[in-house]
């Protein structure tokens, strides 16, 4: 017993071969000069210290993190409203911008022109029954150049805000179509019964020359169409609130024909939801531009990237998403 123990202790590490009793168990033990007895298991750290697949080096350049941060925060920034997007621009909303400029010129001219001249122009562009029978296309277009109450009226502000928002989401052609559809259909729906009532003797002949002009029918139709592009938590309050205002005007019975036309125009705008939503389904446009609908999907992809990590433990864009996204 003493002899064998002494012989094993005095044996040189170089004399033993790997895999023999009392010799090194592998190349790691041979390099360290440690003799491991037979039957003793290895430590786990020795096997886990060297991965089977080496990880690529992680770039720590100072430019990579700001760029990754900008890519991750882009969807979140697109959902933040910007003040300048509430107003029309020549490139972003050319239809609303050009139409608003034309209305501003007409209203400014009417404010400085003689009242008799302004009244004659308004009478000539009125969409009453007589003018609709003689020159329907001309008066329908000319009547949409006037703002009842001037540029300080409620419908002037509504025109700028509502049509700008609608054009940014649905495009200029669809916005023009919605406005023109509400203006024409509501005008005909309110004036044709007047002509029939005069023919049957229920209204006097002077009703055929009823003064009727303005952009209110088109604005009401645009409000109804825009509501279809909003989220449900904003869509129904807008529709119910605007319809309540129009119903209050109708109950006041100040101008029942015009008030009925406003409610009809709102319903026409609601009926155009499939038309204005078609561009958003097609996926054209950015998150904040016309037809944008990818902001939420991109934000979800950013959150998924934040949950999943890389195999080598690099921070990447996922860690940035977890830090800055809600």
C-alpha to C-alpha distance for 85 and 93, rounded to whole angstroms: 10
pLDDT at residue 85 in the model? 86
- pLDDT by residue (tens digit) across 7-18? 444 444 444 444
For residue 218, is pLDDT > 80? yes
pLDDT at residue 274 in the model? 95
- List helix spans (H) across the chain: 2-10, 27-32, 44-48, 64-78, 94-112, 115-124, 129-134, 136-142, 154-170, 172-200, 216-227, 232-252, 256-271, 273-282, 295-307, 316-324
For residue 184, is pLDDT > 60? yes
pLDDT at residue 161 in the model? 96
C-alpha to C-alpha distance for 115 and 243, rounded to whole angstroms: 34
pLDDT at residue 74 in the model? 57
Dihedral (C-alpha) 148, 153, 158, 163: value to the nearest 10 degrees?
Answer: 50
Average pLDDT (153-165) is: 94
Average pLDDT (246-250) is: 94
Q: Is 190 helix (H, G, I), strand (E, B) or coil?
A: helix
For residue 243, is pLDDT > 90? yes
Confidence tier at 284 by pLDDT (50, 70, 90): very low
| Paired tokens of 213 | 């002009």
Confidence tier at 309 by pLDDT (50, 70, 90): very low
- pTM of this structure: 0.64
pLDDT at residue 5 in the model? 43
Whether 261 and 190 have beta carbons less than 8 Å apart is answered as: yes
Which range is least confidently modeled, 97-111, 143-157, 259-273? 143-157
pLDDT at residue 300 in the model? 47
C-alpha to C-alpha distance for 147 and 159, rounded to whole angstroms: 10
C-alpha to C-alpha distance for 223 and 240, rounded to whole angstroms: 11
- pLDDT by residue (tens digit) across 144-154? 999 988 888 89
Average pLDDT (82-97) is: 91
pLDDT at residue 60 in the model? 53
């Amino acid at each position: 017993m003493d002899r064998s123990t002494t012989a094993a202790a005095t044996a040189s590490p170089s004399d033993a071969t790997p895999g023999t009793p009392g010799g090194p168990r592998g190349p790691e033990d041979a390099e360290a000069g440690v003799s491991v007895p037979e039957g003793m298991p290895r430590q786990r750290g020795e096997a886990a210290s060297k991965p089977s697949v080496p990880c690529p080096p992680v770039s720590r350049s100072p430019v990579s993190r700001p760029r990754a941060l900008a890519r991750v925060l882009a969807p979140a920034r697109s959902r933040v409203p910007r003040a300048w997007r509430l107003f029309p621009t020549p490139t972003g909303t050319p239809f609303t911008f050009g139409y608003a400029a034309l209305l501003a010129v007409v209203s400014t001219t009417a404010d400085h022109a003689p009242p008799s001249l302004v009244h004659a122009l308004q009478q000539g562009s009125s969409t009453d029954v007589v003018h609709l029978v003689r020159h329907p296309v001309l008066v329908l277009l000319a009547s949409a150049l006037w703002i009842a109450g001037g540029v300080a009226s409620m419908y002037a502000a509504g025109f700028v805000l509502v049509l700008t928002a609608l054009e940014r989401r649905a495009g200029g052609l669809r916005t023009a179509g919605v406005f023109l559809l509400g203006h024409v259909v509501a005008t005909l729906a309110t004036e044709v019964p007047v002509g029939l009532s005069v023919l049957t003797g229920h209204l006097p002949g002077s009703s055929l020359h009823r003064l009727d002009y303005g952009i209110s029918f088109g604005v009401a139709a645009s409000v109804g169409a825009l509501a279809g592009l909003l989220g449900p938590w904003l869509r129904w309050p807008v529709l119910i609130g605007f319809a309540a205002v129009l119903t209050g005007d109708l109950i006041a019975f100040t101008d029942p024909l015009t008030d009925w036309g406003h409610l009809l125009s709102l319903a026409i705008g609601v009926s155009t939801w499939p038309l204005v939503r078609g561009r958003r389904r097609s996926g054209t446009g950015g998150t904040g531009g016309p037809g944008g609908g990818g902001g939420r999907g991109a934000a979800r992809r950013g959150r998924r990237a934040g949950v999943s990590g890389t195999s080598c433990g690099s921070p990447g864009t996922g860690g940035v998403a977890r830090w800055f996204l809600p």
